[in-house]
């Protein structure tokens, strides 16, 4: 295969890219596993998939849109004309042969996709991302080029396509199109969504309210109820099509409860082994915390497993024009595509959002703001809205007692993850989840 890039220069090139996650590991070799040549007159470039093999044996695949230059490798996405060309492949549903397959643009046939854009199309790069490259097209759509590729069905594409074509849920940046590389090294390489304008993320929005002196305003608590309602509506949408195998709800079985319980107990053991040396009080709580996980295995199975967001917190929602928008359906980055696509209890999403309020509270306290009732009223309002929107839903446990046992167990699971994450990344913050573990109520 004739390669479009100088392989000898690739290791050094990769280590200087923001989106390359393997900077800390010695590279053994880099090979091109597929590539397509794109020539649109105004822009000619190659879309290459390279496999990076590290000395430790691990390998990763990356998408490289590159322009051949005499002085080395240049990122084609720094050229506005190349970005326009990539977008046109998607919008016009073009197909381009690659060395071992083909590149296929997909544009959904939905009312939202019938949009007009000026010519030439204005393109504005977003500089905030680390792992992907995103550009705003005509201030109406956002094109995300996925840099690190994984085998299997991309959950963000799959979830977005289902919501856009099989449900009426629109409290998300609607998926409009995608770019797929089909063949032995296939995968979704780019996504196009509706661009949400004038938006502030839920984390910043909540911190701004928490920083205000005095008790929380009733209007803010109503907004938190509304956030709970949006999540409830999302779960109803994700569980609405029994004919779609990858989204059809499945009953929660006793073996599911036992598997989830055993997993949490295992995580508790690992977490206490790591954190117990720094926080001796935690070890004294082992039995009390274990009981939350044990109770999950003992409740009578009820409710359903459905597709869920999988990585929900205040940073995954936007506030715009008085509405909540839920976004970023790619799931937890540390998990494989297969794991992210697993059906689960929707209460796992609820637990993730509840934990986010604790982090917001801890953040404003660390900033020196006085303690006032903020976290508990916000959590309660969010839960009220969620339960209001999901009353009678088949995916929830059959009774209140089981609801609370499951929710507490999933909060514990999230807390244990947070402790391990903070120990590795932000040791000064580990006290936040540790204190929450110490505050957890006795199992009833």
The string of DSSP letters for 364-419 reads HHHTTPPP-S-HHHHHHHHHHHHHHHTTT-TTS-SSHHHHHHHHHHHHHHHHHHHH
Confidence at residue 67, expressed as pLDDT on a 0 to 100 scale: 85
- How far apart (Å, rounded) are the C-alpha atoms in residues 64 and 303? 44
**Which residue bears the tokens 């209460």?**
347
pLDDT values of the chain reduced to their tens digit, one per residue, 444 residues:
455 677 788 899 999 898 999 998 999 999 999 999 998 878 889 999 999 999 988 999 999 999 877 777 889 999 999 999 999 999 999 999 999 999 999 999 999 999 999 888 999 988 765 789 999 999 999 999 999 999 889 999 999 999 999 999 999 999 999 999 998 778 999 999 999 999 999 999 999 999 999 999 999 999 999 999 999 999 999 999 999 999 999 999 999 999 999 999 999 999 998 887 778 888 889 999 999 999 999 999 999 999 999 999 999 999 999 999 999 999 988 889 999 999 999 999 999 999 999 999 999 999 999 999 999 999 999 999 999 999 999 999 999 999 999 999 999 999 999 999 999 989 989 999 999 999 988 776
Q: Tell me how crowded residue 215 is: count the other CB atoms within 10 A of its CB.
A: 12
Confidence at residue 444, expressed as pLDDT on a 0 to 100 scale: 64
CA distances from 44 to 66, 84, 191 (A): 9, 12, 21
Confidence at residue 186, expressed as pLDDT on a 0 to 100 scale: 82
Maximum distance among all alpha carbons in the chain? 70
Contact, 258 vs 297, CB < 8 A? yes
DSSP state of 122: P
Please enumerate in sequence order all residues whose Cβ is within 8 A of that of 29, keeping only pairs 6 or more positions apart, or say none.
52, 53
- How far apart (Å, rounded) are the C-alpha atoms in residues 320 and 195? 12
Confidence at residue 1, expressed as pLDDT on a 0 to 100 scale: 43
Q: Tell me how crowded residue 104 is: count the other CB atoms within 10 A of its CB.
A: 18
Angle at which helix 254-275 crosses helix 400-425, to 10 degrees, equals 30
- How far apart (Å, rounded) are the C-alpha atoms in residues 204 and 283? 34
Closest CA to 196 of 132, 105, 112, 308: 112
- How far apart (Å, rounded) are the C-alpha atoms in residues 367 and 214? 16
Confidence at residue 382, expressed as pLDDT on a 0 to 100 scale: 98
Write down the H helix ranges in 127-250: 155-166, 202-210, 218-238
- How far apart (Å, rounded) are the C-alpha atoms in residues 407 and 299? 12
- How far apart (Å, rounded) are the C-alpha atoms in residues 160 and 326? 11
Confidence at residue 373, expressed as pLDDT on a 0 to 100 scale: 94
3-state secondary structure of 220: helix
Confidence at residue 2, expressed as pLDDT on a 0 to 100 scale: 54
Cis link prior to 404 (omega < 30° from 0)? no
- How far apart (Å, rounded) are the C-alpha atoms in residues 325 and 436? 28
Closest CA to 149 of 127, 180, 108: 180
Contact, 150 vs 337, CB < 8 A? yes
Contact, 49 vs 149, CB < 8 A? yes
Confidence at residue 3, expressed as pLDDT on a 0 to 100 scale: 59
């Amino acid at each position: 295969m004739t390669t479009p890039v100088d392989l000898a220069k690739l290791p050094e090139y990769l280590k200087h890219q923001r989106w390359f996650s393997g900077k800390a590991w010695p590279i053994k070799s880099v090979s091109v596993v597929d590539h397509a040549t794109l020539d649109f007159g105004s822009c000619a470039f190659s879309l290459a998939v390279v496999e990076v093999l590290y000395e430790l044996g691990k390998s990763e695949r990356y998408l490289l849109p590159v322009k051949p230059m005499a002085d080395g490798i240049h990122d084609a996405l720094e050229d506005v004309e190349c970005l326009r060309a990539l977008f046109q492949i998607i919008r016009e549903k073009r197909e381009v042969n690659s060395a071992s397959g083909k590149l296929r643009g997909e544009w959904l046939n939905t009312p939202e996709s019938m949009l007009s854009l000026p010519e030439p199309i204005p393109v504005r790069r977003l500089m905030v991302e680390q792992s992907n490259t995103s550009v705003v097209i005509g201030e109406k759509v956002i094109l995300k080029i996925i840099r690190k590729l994984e085998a299997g069905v991309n959950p963000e594409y799959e979830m977005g396509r289902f919501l856009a074509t099989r449900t009426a849920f629109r409290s998300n940046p609607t998926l409009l199109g995608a770019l797929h590389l089909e063949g032995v090294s296939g995968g979704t390489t780019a996504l196009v969504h509706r661009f949400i304008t004038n938006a502030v993320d839920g984390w910043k929005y909540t911190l701004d309210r928490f920083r205000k002196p005095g008790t929380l305003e009733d209007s803010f608590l109503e907004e938190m109820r509304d956030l709970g309602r949006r999540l409830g509506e999302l779960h109803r949408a994700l569980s609405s099509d029994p004919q779609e195998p990858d989204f059809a709800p499945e009953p929660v079985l006793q073996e599911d409860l036992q598997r989830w319980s055993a997993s949490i107990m295992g995580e508790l053991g690992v977490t206490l082994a790591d954190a117990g040396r720094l926080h001796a009080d935690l070890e004294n709580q082992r039995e009390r915390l274990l009981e939350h996980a044990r109770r999950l295995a003992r409740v009578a199975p009820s409710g359903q497993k459905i597709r869920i967001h999988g990585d929900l917190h205040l940073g995954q929602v936007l506030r715009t024009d008085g509405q909540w928008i839920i976004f970023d359906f790619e799931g937890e980055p540390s998990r494989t595509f297969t794991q992210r696509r697993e059906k689960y209890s929707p209460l796992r999403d609820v637990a993730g959002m509840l934990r986010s309020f604790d982090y917001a509270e801890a953040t404003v306290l660390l900033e020196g703001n006085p303690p006032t009732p903020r976290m508990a009223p916000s959590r309660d309002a969010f839960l009220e809205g969620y339960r209001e929107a999901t009353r009678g839903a088949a995916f929830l446990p059959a009774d209140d007692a089981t609801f609370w046992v499951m929710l507490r167990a999933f909060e514990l699971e999230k807390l244990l993850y947070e402790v391990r994450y903070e120990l590795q990344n932000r040791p000064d913050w580990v006290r936040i989840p540790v204190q929450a573990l110490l505050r957890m109520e006795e199992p009833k």
